[in-house]
């Protein structure tokens, strides 16, 4: 008996910290679309820096939509303290829109945090960025359009902005309408050119060059490459024609600047998006704040990314005061 | 004149002394304030530029503890500045020093008060002890969360020495100027009351002569003393003016070098004049900022450099006028000089402000 008691006491002393930790250890279920990239790393680094006792269960869809229902089932069974989703597609598939959130196929009972969702209101995920009405919060990654237009004015004082877009894409059409609204306030002219469709009613990429030539004829100062999947797929056709015509291209995303010939973009880096999502996660996990009380935001400071090779080809350079905070990429090998 | 009593003379002498003290005091305060402003703004400018560099790197997606490469910028601004004891960055969460110009400081924790004081966006914290002064500015990430703090510790001895020298100058000038007035009052009184001792035959001419001589003496001695006092103040201020000009030159040099080393042609940069003009407007002592090419040809200019230079019509040689100070740093494109940053400072800026 004495032996039995001493064994129990030793066991308790040895495993007490483990038992306590198991009670305080939070569970975070994180669903990714295409591997753990910068935003995912930023999120994990933040939790580590804040010493949050959390176990992060990573699930990667590897770009396969069929994986999402599996993750929904697993999350429902696991009942984590927080569900984190990456990107618009994963978020909408896991949580549904505000209208259809009550459908049983979506997750409702777990506080959710999204990151890298460009338009949470427009996509129907939430009805507002503050007091969102659902137990969801998150971090958007696009710099607001009005800010993009204002920043762009500091780089190039444009009076005529051209936009070539796919009319069939809601995002692109909405963006053009918004730009037109802001144009009257900011005092510039918008020359919008929808891409004509072919016989199969699909947008015809061969017409892009002609549209750029038309914009050049109208003395366009700048072309905007917005959140438009079709135009981003054919961005090289756009930027090549624009460079040939001497018109700079201003992009809403970094990809067209980094991997293409677009001149500049104002963006938020994914690592910072992840870190900001981490900050919100700490509020939910450690401070017990409900997700619906945490506003959906984007980082405060936008980063100017400039393609210096495109700048040299166009002989258009950003003004000196903007250079210090900017990320100047694709620097030519030979400098003047 | 006959009614000139001793009381009148004493009152006049006292009034003169009061005026002298007010005048010297006003100048002393102006120069002493300028000396402190130069010291504070010099550190603040360097720290704010470093803050932009750190925050810019964080905006690009780097974490503060991983910004070791930015540490090299410390020496760029602080090299040759004997007043700076150390420049360091500490982590806002733990208070641990991440980088420092003094290797032994790395890893140790800063006082808790520093962490508390260095938290607010747009604030500068200053802590003074008898031997050193600490200036710190917070570092914020892209979503305005306090990540760390950039701190410079510097000696207060130089400021104290300047202050003491200025006090000595002011004291000696006050004594000299007061004595001139007292002496003039005494001369007027003695010569008018003891006219029998006079060798001058005509009374009116004699009075006029005495007055004229006294006025002449005051007219020569007072401006000379005032001028020597101002020159002495300016001499005391010189090290501060020079150190700040050096910091401004390095900030401009750093900015221009980033641009040219990123592919922007040195001769066709945008917005340079506006950038230089902004710096000039913030710093009243800066007369001009020039960016020249290798041969000295001016490419960009803010302010007027012509005022600071004299040119010899025979030889065509250009030289700096007294009262102006010039600092130059090269602009390097991949270690090859493509031009110069030149900053001209008006050493008499306090005098011009006062008068």
Q: Taking residues A249-271, what's their average pLDDT?
A: 92
Q: What value, to the nearest 5°, has the Cα angle with vertex B58 and ends B56 and B63?
A: 155
Residues near A185 by beta carbon (within 8 Å), at least 6 away in sequence: none
pLDDT tens digits for range B302-337: 998 888 777 777 776 777 788 888 899 999 998 889
Q: Are strands B125-128 and A26-32 parallel, antiparallel or unpaired?
A: unpaired
User: Are B298 and B290 spatial neighbours (Cβ–Cβ below 8 Å)?
Assistant: yes
Of B56, B143, B271, the CB nearest to A272: B143
Q: How far is residue A193 from each of residues A66, A163, A176, B316, measured CA to CA in Å? A: 37, 6, 10, 61
The whole-number pLDDT of residue B66 equals 86
Answer whether A37 touches B (CB < 8 Å): no
The whole-number pLDDT of residue A4 equals 64
Residues of B in contact with A299 (CB under 8 A): 142-143
The whole-number pLDDT of residue B8 equals 85
CB spacing of A312 vs B263 below 8 angstroms:
yes
pLDDT tens digits for range A85-113: 999 899 999 999 988 877 788 998 899 99
For residue A112, give how far its alpha carbon lies from the nearest alpha carbon of chain B (Å).
Answer: 20
Residues of B in contact with A321 (CB under 8 A): 271, 274-275, 278
pLDDT tens digits for range B258-299: 999 999 999 989 999 999 999 999 998 999 999 999 888 899
Residues of B in contact with A320 (CB under 8 A): 255-256, 259, 269-272, 275
The whole-number pLDDT of residue B305 equals 82
CB spacing of A269 vs B61 below 8 angstroms:
yes
Answer whether A335 touches B (CB < 8 Å): yes
- Closest CA relative to residue B238, chosen from B161, B123, B156, B150: B161
Cross-strand partners of A140: A117
Asked whether the predicted pLDDT for residue A291 surpasses 70, the reply is yes
Residues near A275 by beta carbon (within 8 Å), at least 6 away in sequence: A42, A43, A45, A46, B141, B143
For residue A150, give how far its alpha carbon lies from the nearest alpha carbon of chain B (Å).
Answer: 17
The whole-number pLDDT of residue B156 equals 81
Asked whether the predicted pLDDT for residue A6 surpasses 70, the reply is no
Higher pLDDT, A3 or A59: A59
Percent of all residues in chain A with a pLDDT value above 70, rounded to a whole number: 93
Q: Which residue of B has its CA nearest to A269?
A: B61
Asked whether the predicted pLDDT for residue B179 surpasses 70, the reply is yes
Residues of A in contact with B278 (CB under 8 A): 321
For residue A137, give how far its alpha carbon lies from the nearest alpha carbon of chain B (Å).
Answer: 15
* pLDDT class of A7 with cuts at 50, 70, 90: low
For residue A144, give how far its alpha carbon lies from the nearest alpha carbon of chain B (Å).
Answer: 15
pLDDT tens digits for range B108-132: 999 998 999 998 888 888 888 888 8
Asked whether the predicted pLDDT for residue B7 surpasses 70, the reply is yes
Of B55, B93, B271, the CB nearest to A320: B271
Tally helices (H) and strands (E) across chain A.
13, 12
Q: Which residue of A has its CA nearest to B265?
A: A336
Indicate the helix (H) or strand (E) that contains A272: helix A270-285
CB spacing of A301 vs B145 below 8 angstroms:
no
Q: Taking residues B227-252, what's their average pLDDT?
A: 91
Percent of all residues in chain B with a pLDDT value above 90, rounded to a whole number: 45
Rounded to the nearest 10 degrees, what angle do helices A145-155 and A170-186 cross at? 60
Q: Taking residues B251-260, what's their average pLDDT?
A: 93
> What CA–CA distance (Å, rounded) separates A55 from A72?
18
The whole-number pLDDT of residue A9 equals 63
Three-state secondary structure of B132-157 = EEEEEEEEECCCCCEEEEEEEEEECH
Cross-strand partners of A30: A58, A84
pLDDT tens digits for range A203-258: 999 999 999 999 999 999 999 999 888 999 999 999 999 999 999 999 998 889 98
> What CA–CA distance (Å, rounded) separates B81 from B243?
7
Of A181-190, B15-24, B211-220, minimum mean pLDDT range: B211-220
Six token digits for residue A69: 């229902």
Residues shown for chain B: 355
Q: Which residue of A has its CA nearest to B91?
A: A49
CB spacing of A331 vs B263 below 8 angstroms:
yes
Residues near B284 by beta carbon (within 8 Å), at least 6 away in sequence: B349, B353
The whole-number pLDDT of residue B26 equals 94
CA A325 to chain centre: 21
Backbone angles phi, psi at B303, to 5 degrees: 85, 180
The whole-number pLDDT of residue B177 equals 94
Q: What is the DSSP letter of B245?
A: H
pLDDT tens digits for range A182-191: 999 999 999 9
Q: Taking residues A303-307, what's their average pLDDT?
A: 95
Asked whether the predicted pLDDT for residue A11 surpasses 60, the reply is no
Q: Which residue of B has its CA nearest to A42?
A: B61
Higher pLDDT, A162 or B312: A162
Answer whether A280 touches B (CB < 8 Å): no
User: Are A164 and A283 spatial neighbours (Cβ–Cβ below 8 Å)?
Assistant: no
Q: Are strands A82-86 and A26-32 parallel, antiparallel or unpaired?
A: parallel
Strand, helix or coil for residue B214: helix
The whole-number pLDDT of residue A31 equals 97
Higher pLDDT, A197 or A104: A197
Q: Taking residues A9-16, what's their average pLDDT?
A: 58
Count CB pairs under 8 A between chains A and B. Answer: 101
> What CA–CA distance (Å, rounded) separates B318 from B309?
6
Strand, helix or coil for residue A322: helix
The whole-number pLDDT of residue A14 equals 57
The whole-number pLDDT of residue B154 equals 87
The whole-number pLDDT of residue A163 equals 97
Answer whether A303 touches B (CB < 8 Å): yes
CB spacing of A335 vs B261 below 8 angstroms:
yes
* pLDDT class of B199 with cuts at 50, 70, 90: low
Q: Taking residues B126-142, what's their average pLDDT?
A: 89
Q: Which residue of A has its CA nearest to B147?
A: A49
* pLDDT class of B5 with cuts at 50, 70, 90: confident
User: Are B152 and B42 spatial neighbours (Cβ–Cβ below 8 Å)?
Assistant: no
- Closest CA relative to residue B218, chosen from B176, B171, B172: B176
> What CA–CA distance (Å, rounded) separates A29 from A32?
10
Higher pLDDT, B173 or B193: B173
pTM of this structure: 0.81
Cross-strand partners of A190: A161
Q: Kindly indicate whether the ipTM for this predicted assembly is greater than 0.90, answering yes or no.
A: no
Q: Taking residues A152-163, what's their average pLDDT?
A: 95
Six token digits for residue B283: 């710093």
CB spacing of A299 vs B143 below 8 angstroms:
yes
Q: Which residue of A has its CA nearest to B256?
A: A320
Q: Sheet containing A112-117: give its strands across.
A: A54-60, A26-32, A82-86, A112-117, A136-140
> What CA–CA distance (Å, rounded) separates B124 from B151?
10
Q: What value, to the nearest 5°, has the Cα angle with vertex A292 and ends A286 and A295?
A: 90
For residue B156, give how far its alpha carbon lies from the nearest alpha carbon of chain A (Å).
Answer: 32
pLDDT tens digits for range B44-95: 888 998 998 899 999 988 888 888 777 777 777 676 677 888 899 999 989 9
Residues of A in contact with B333 (CB under 8 A): 335-336
User: Are A295 and A129 spatial neighbours (Cβ–Cβ below 8 Å)?
Assistant: yes
Q: What is the DSSP letter of A320?
A: H
> What CA–CA distance (Å, rounded) separates A246 from A121?
37
């Amino acid at each position: 008996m004495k032996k039995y008691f001493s064994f129990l006491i030793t066991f308790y002393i040895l495993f007490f910290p483990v038992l306590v930790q198991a009670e305080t250890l939070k569970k975070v279920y994180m669903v990714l679309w295409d591997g753990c990239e910068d935003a995912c790393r930023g999120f994990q680094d933040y939790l580590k820096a804040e010493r949050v006792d959390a176990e992060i269960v990573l699930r990667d869809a590897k770009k396969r939509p069929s994986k999402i229902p599996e993750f929904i089932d697993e999350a429902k069974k696991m009942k984590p303290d927080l569900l984190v989703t990456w990107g618009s597609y994963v978020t909408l598939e896991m949580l549904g829109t505000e209208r259809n959130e009550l459908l049983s196929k979506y997750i409702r009972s777990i506080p959710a945090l999204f990151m890298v969702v460009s338009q949470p209101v427009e996509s129907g995920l939430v009805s507002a960025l503050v007091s969102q009405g659902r137990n969801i919060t998150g971090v958007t990654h696009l710099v607001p359009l009005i800010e993009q237009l204002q920043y762009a004015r500091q780089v190039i004082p444009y009076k005529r902005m051209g936009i070539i877009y796919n009319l069939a894409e809601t995002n692109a059409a909405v963006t053009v309408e918004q730009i037109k609204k802001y144009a009257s306030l900011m005092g510039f002219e918008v020359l919008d050119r929808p891409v004509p469709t072919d016989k199969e009613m699909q947008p015809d990429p061969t017409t892009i060059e002609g549209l750029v030539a038309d914009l050049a004829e109208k003395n366009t100062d700048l072309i905007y490459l917005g959140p438009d999947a079709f135009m981003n797929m054919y961005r090289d056709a756009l930027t090549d024609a624009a460079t040939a015509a001497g018109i700079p291209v201003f992009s809403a995303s970094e990809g067209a600047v980094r991997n293409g010939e677009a001149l500049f973009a104002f963006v938020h880096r994914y690592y910072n998006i992840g870190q900001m999502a981490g900050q919100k996660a700490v509020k939910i996990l450690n401070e017990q704040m409900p997700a619906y009380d945490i506003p959906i935001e984007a980082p405060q400071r936008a980063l100017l990314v400039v393609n210096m090779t495109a700048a040299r080809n166009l002989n258009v350079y950003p003004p000196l005061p903007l250079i210090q905070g900017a990320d100047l990429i694709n620097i030519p090998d030979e400098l003047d | 004149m006959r009614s000139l009593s001793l009381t009148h003379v004493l009152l006049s002498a006292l009034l003169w002394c009061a005026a002298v003290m007010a005048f010297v005091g006003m100048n002393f305060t102006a120069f002493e304030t300028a000396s402190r402003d130069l010291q504070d703004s010099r550190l603040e400018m360097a720290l704010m530029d470093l803050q932009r560099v750190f925050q810019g790197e964080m905006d690009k997606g780097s974490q503060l503890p991983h910004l070791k490469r930015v540490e090299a910028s410390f020496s760029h601004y602080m090299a040759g500045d004997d007043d700076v004891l150390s420049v360091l960055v500490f982590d806002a969460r733990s208070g641990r020093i991440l980088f420092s110009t003094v290797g032994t400081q790395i890893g140790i924790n800063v006082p808790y008060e520093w962490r508390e004081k260095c938290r607010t966006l747009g604030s500068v914290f200053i802590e003074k002890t008898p031997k050193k002064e600490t200036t710190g500015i917070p570092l914020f990430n892209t979503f305005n969360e306090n990540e760390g703090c950039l701190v410079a510790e510097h000696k207060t001895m130089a400021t104290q020495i300047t202050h003491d020298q200025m006090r000595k100058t002011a004291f000696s000038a006050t004594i000299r100027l007061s004595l001139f007035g007292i002496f003039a009052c005494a001369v007027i009184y003695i010569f008018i009351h003891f006219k029998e001792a006079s060798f001058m035959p005509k009374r009116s001419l004699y009075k006029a002569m005495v007055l004229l001589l006294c006025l002449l003496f005051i007219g020569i001695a007072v401006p000379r003393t005032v001028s020597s006092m101002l020159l002495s103040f300016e001499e005391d201020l010189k090290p501060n003016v020079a150190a700040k000009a050096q910091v401004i030159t390095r900030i401009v040099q750093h900015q221009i070098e980033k641009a040219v080393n990123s592919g922007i042609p040195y001769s066709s940069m945008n917005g340079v004049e506006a950038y230089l003009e902004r710096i000039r407007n913030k710093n009243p002592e800066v007369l001009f900022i020039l960016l020249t090419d290798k041969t000295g040809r001016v490419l960009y200019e803010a302010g007027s450099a012509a005022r600071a230079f004299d040119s010899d019509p025979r030889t065509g040689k250009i030289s700096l006028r007294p009262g102006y100070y010039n600092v130059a740093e090269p602009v390097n494109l991949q270690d090859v000089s493509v031009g110069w940053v030149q900053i001209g400072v008006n050493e008499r800026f306090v005098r011009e402000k006062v008068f």
